[in-house]
Amino acid sequence: MFESLSQRLQNTFDRLGGGRVVTEQDVKDAMRDVRMALLEADVALPIVKDFVGRVRDRAIGAEVHKTLRPHEQVVKIIHEEMRDTLGEAGRLNFSGSTKPHVIMMVGLQGSGKTTSAAKLAMYLRKEGRQPFLVAADTYRPAAVDQLVTLAKQVNIPYYEEGVSAKPTDIAKRGLEAAKNADASVVIIDTAGRLQIDDQLMTELEEIKRRTNPAEILLVADAMTGQEAVNIATGFNERVGITGLVLTKVDGDARGGAALSMRAVTGVPIKFMGTGEKISLETFEQFHPERIADRILGM
Amino acid sequence: LGNTEIDEDTWDDLEASFIQADLGLETTETVLDYLKETTAREGITRTNQLDKVLKESLYALLDPPPPLNITGRDLSIILIVGVNGSGKTTSIAKLANRFKKEGRNVMLAAGDTFRAAAIEQLQTWGERAGVPVIANKPGSDPGAVVYDAIQAAQARNADLLIIDTAGRLHNNYNLMRELEKIRNVISKAVPDAPHEVLLVLDGTTGQNALKQGQKFAEATNVTGLIITKLDGTARGGMIFSVFTEVGAPVQFIGLGEGIDDLVRFDVKQFVDGLFEF
Ligand SMILES: Nc1nc2c(ncn2[C@@H]2O[C@H](COP(=O)(O)OP(=O)(O)OP(=O)(O)O)[C@@H](O)[C@H]2O)c(=O)[nH]1
Ligand SMILES: Nc1nc2c(ncn2[C@@H]2O[C@H](COP(=O)(O)OP(=O)(O)OP(=O)(O)O)[C@@H](O)[C@H]2O)c(=O)[nH]1
Ligand SMILES: [K+]
Ligand SMILES: [Mg+2]
Ligand SMILES: [Mg+2]
């Protein structure tokens, strides 16, 4: 059913005949193909419009490279633009704030925060740091059990106090416990929430105020649709996210949400989750090329 | 055309709202073509007339939920399936609560033996809903738990068993085969079971929902859909293509994390909600 974008573009240019210079009409037809491909990949509409606009500007009048056919030229421009928009894999930023550094995991319900928290702890340990997990989700049934089970499974120290205290207090006391345990990085697992849930977003602000995180990572599902823009904007406006984690990349979603979220927040994508297992193999540095190819269906 | 309120911008705006509600390009184009045709044929010139035609054309694309096939026998079995984190376990709690209130003798099976604390999660919900949960150890064979649960349900005269399964991505071959095996265990124990196989879709999902629908239907013969997390600003428009493709009606909508936050799907309400920005 799905025709790859480069195939589509080739057909378009073949139909147009195609000279040495990419003309405005060529570009117009090609941009329709690009728009369709991006929308099929779940890139959010406003982001598609911007993206197509930038590609169009670069493509009009572009001298066709000697060795490239016109559709290949446009594909090249799209690739470059996609790479620029997705950006490099972001690194964690531990400069500045005092130790231990705090990382807050935030996001919608079921996006993969708890799983990613445990994977991130493993990753940090491999980097030679001393990670520590804090179970600050008191809402979802057995969320504390889940984090504790994972922490034990991969042998990372943790703090929990059940579900009767307030998440803001647990976060603060967890930070103290981490200091006492000589941890260098504290990962706080928070409950899933909708970005429009004012009360729960206020709670996140409060956790942030009390723990002064070096990183606030928005954990997002690669299957997310057009809603990606609202999610990323909502979390960013309330708590100021510093990075994105894209989960469930082992699925076959085209992953346009990555482009949308990156574009509206300007915040780098730092990691990708590629499996349910808690392991170093299922938690990877973000690969812009791989995601670009997926979004473009190439 | 002369005195019409409907111009290129009208169509562009409509297209934008369809796409942003996750209807997908194909459904969007089909509906727009139909609307343009109807507008021309019936000489529609007012946007409020167009609005009416639009809504009616969308109502027609979905079916109201038929009654669940869970009565008229000693033990009815519902199997719940879906990708990771879509809301399966929570939806089971909500269903259990609902059917218990309707006077059913409900039991739950903790068929997710894989995810950390998935069993405890279902047990906590079971306590809240006041329904027993049959579980085994983490890591144990899900087929065996399901078999045990069916035996227990029969022994204790439960009339409704709802089976939780681990989240799995539909492109994971081995996990989809495991699901087929679970289904076979159920059919062996109770010949016409499972009586309902409900696929739980996250309402925030985009076009990937279609593939989820196709693959889960192939593996388990899905009979109905539950769309969760529609209490946010996501619209869930991908269900048009899922319904068309899978043919299974949307039965319920999840509207929150609480045990009462599950409502029967209402076509009109859903469609009207698609365009309230
Ligand atoms: N296949 C796959 N599954 C994942 C990945 N990351 C998380 N999951 C699964 O997604 C589901 C939800 O993950 P959680 O870590 O519980 O998500 P969460 O964001 O903490 O959920 P809440 O706390 O309820 O908001 C679980 O079944 C995880 O195993 C991933 O990268 N790939
Ligand atoms: N806002 C909202 N959250 C929901 C809804 N349904 C489920 N959730 C939340 O989504 C998250 C995941 O729900 P689960 O029921 O654990 O999902 P699951 O499909 O069983 O997850 P796995 O077993 O890990 O695959 C939890 O935080 C739930 O509270 C809903 O309708 N609205
Ligand atoms: K999700
Ligand atoms: Mg969690
Ligand atoms: Mg579950």
Distance CA B228, CA B222 (A): 17
Q: Is A98 exposed, middle or buried (CB count within 10 Å of its CB: 0-12, 13-18, 19+)? A: exposed
Q: Determine the distance separating the centroid of ligand 2 and the alpha carbon of A192, expressed in angstroms.
A: 9
Closest to B78 (Cα-Cα) out of B178, B261, B232, B220: B220
Q: In one letter, which amino acid is A154?
A: V
CB atoms under 10 Å from CB of B177, counted, come to 11
End-to-end CA distance of chain B: 29
- Listed range (A5-14, A101-110, B21-30, B54-63) with the worst mean pLDDT: A5-14
From the centroid of its chain, how far is CA B242?
A: 10
Mean pLDDT over all residues of chain A?
92
- A1: confidence class by pLDDT, cuts 50, 70, 90: very low
Distance CA B61, CA B241 (A): 9
| A139-150 mean pLDDT | 98
Closest to A60 (Cα-Cα) out of A14, A99, A34, A21: A21
From the centroid of its chain, how far is CA B219?
A: 16
| A104-111 mean pLDDT | 98
- Is the Cβ atom of A190 under 6 angstroms away from ligand 1? no
Q: Whose CA is nearest to atom 29 of ligand 2?
A: B257
Distance CA B116, CA A142 (A): 9
Q: Which atom of ligand 1 is nearest to the CA of A251?
A: 1
Q: What percent of chain A has pLDDT over 90?
A: 76
- Interchain CB distance below 8 Å, A226 and B238: no
**CA A58, A60, A64, A69 torsion-angle sign:** positive
- A17: confidence class by pLDDT, cuts 50, 70, 90: low
Q: In one letter, which amino acid is A189?
A: D
DSSP, collapsed to helix, strand or coil, labels residue B90 as helix
Q: Is B245 exposed, middle or buried (CB count within 10 Å of its CB: 0-12, 13-18, 19+)? A: middle
Q: Determine the distance separating the centroid of ligand 1 and the alpha carbon of A219, expressed in angstroms.
A: 10
Distance CA A133, CA A100 (A): 12
From the centroid of its chain, how far is CA A250?
A: 14
Is the pTM for the entire model greater than 0.90? yes
DSSP symbols for B14-44: HHHHHHHTT-HHHHHHHHHHHHHHHHHHHT-
Distance CA A19, CA A32 (A): 19
Q: Which atom of ligand 2 is nearest to the CA of B164?
A: 20
Using beta carbons and an 8 Å cutoff, which residues of A are at the interface with B?
36, 39-42, 44-45, 108-112, 139-143, 145-146, 149-150, 153, 194-196, 221, 223-227, 230-231, 248, 250-254, 256-257, 276
Q: What percent of chain B has pLDDT over 90?
A: 97
Distance CA A213, CA A97 (A): 8
- A9: confidence class by pLDDT, cuts 50, 70, 90: confident
What is the C-alpha radius of gyration for chain B, rounded to an integer number of angstroms? 21
- Interchain CB distance below 8 Å, B206 and A153: no
Q: Is B171 exposed, middle or buried (CB count within 10 Å of its CB: 0-12, 13-18, 19+)? A: middle
- Listed range (A13-22, A138-147, B151-160, B199-208) with the worst mean pLDDT: A13-22
pLDDT at B263 over 50: yes
Which of B22, B121, B169 is the closest to A248 by Cβ?
B169
Pocket-testing residue among B80, B81, B83, B84, ligand 1, by greatest number of atoms within 8 A of Cβ: B84
The answer to whether the beta carbons of residues B262 and B254 sit under 8 Å apart is: yes
The number of helix segments (H) and strand segments (E) in chain A equals 11, 8
pLDDT at A2 over 60: no
Distance CA B112, CA B109 (A): 9
Whether cis (ω within 30° of 0) applies to the bond prior to A268 is no
- A40: confidence class by pLDDT, cuts 50, 70, 90: very high
Q: Is A56 exposed, middle or buried (CB count within 10 Å of its CB: 0-12, 13-18, 19+)? A: middle
Q: How far is CA B174 from CA A32, A40, A112, B111, B169, in A?
A: 38, 27, 21, 16, 10
DSSP A92: P
- Is the Cβ atom of A167 under 6 angstroms away from ligand 1? no
Whether cis (ω within 30° of 0) applies to the bond prior to B194 is yes
pLDDT at B1 over 90: no
Chain A / chain B CB contacts < 8 angstroms: 130
Buried b (16+ CB within 10 A) or exposed e, A171-201: bbebbebbeeeebebbbbbbbbbbbebeebb
| B245-269 mean pLDDT | 97
DSSP, collapsed to helix, strand or coil, labels residue B9 as helix
Predicted pLDDT of residue A6: 79
Closest to A270 (Cα-Cα) out of A239, A244, A235, A231: A244
Distance CA B124, CA B120 (A): 6
Question: Which phi and psi angles does B142 have, rounded to 5°?
Answer: -60, -35
Closest to A112 (Cα-Cα) out of A210, A291, A257, A295: A257
The ligand with the least distance to the CA atom of A108 is 1
Bridge partners of B228, per DSSP, are: B202
Pocket-testing residue among B165, B168, B228, ligand 2, by greatest number of atoms within 8 A of Cβ: B228
Q: Whose CA is nearest to atom 24 of ligand 2?
A: B85
Distance CA B197, CA B185 (A): 14
User: Which residues of B fall within a CB distance of 8 Å from A5?
Assistant: none
Closest to A109 (Cα-Cα) out of A221, A270, A262, A246: A221
DSSP B62: S
Q: What percent of chain A has pLDDT over 70?
A: 96
To test the contact with chain A by mutation, choose from B20, B28, B84, B88 the residue with the greatest count of A C-beta atoms within 10 A, namely B84
DSSP B113: -
Predicted pLDDT of residue B117: 98
Predicted pLDDT of residue A18: 58
Distance CA A64, CA A243 (A): 37
- Is the Cβ atom of A70 under 6 angstroms away from ligand 1? no
pLDDT digits (tens, 9 = 90+) for B76-94: 999 999 999 999 999 999 9
DSSP A64: P
Instruction: Please determine, for the modelled complex, whether the ipTM score is greater than 0.90.
Output: yes
Q: Is A279 exposed, middle or buried (CB count within 10 Å of its CB: 0-12, 13-18, 19+)? A: middle
The answer to whether the beta carbons of residues B186 and B111 sit under 8 Å apart is: no
